[in-house]
Structure 1
Amino acid sequence: MAEFYGDRGEAESIRTIHEAVDLGMDFLDTADMYGAGLSEEIVGRGLAGGLRDRVVLATK
């Protein structure tokens, strides 16, 4: 969601998280090294509003 893979569009990243969970993805993995913690912040915002209970979240 941040660094390494092109532009960092937060809104698009959050839409991607929502669609992934809607399609059945239930494991997300991130680390504070991606975007100096930005990836974890985006994942957190993407899982707000009840989605957090639907996934296993790993961070390193």
Structure 2
Amino acid sequence: MKIIAFVIALALFLLGMLLMGYAFEPDAPHGILFFAGIASVAVSLAIPFHVLKRVDG
């Protein structure tokens, strides 16, 4: 369970960083991509801090 949660959290974190980077492209919807990146990083941090604490013990 922990390894699967780690892989999902890592993928969401990297996706969030990628989205925040693409927000600065010239023809991109800046606000939407940046907000989606921040939301993805927030969810990736919430998985180990909140969800796994409740599942493991």
When normalised by structure 1's length, the TM-score is: 0.34
Greater strand fraction, Structure 1 or Structure 2: 1
Query: Which is higher, the Rg of structure 1 or of structure 2?
Result: 2
When normalised by structure 2's length, the TM-score is: 0.35
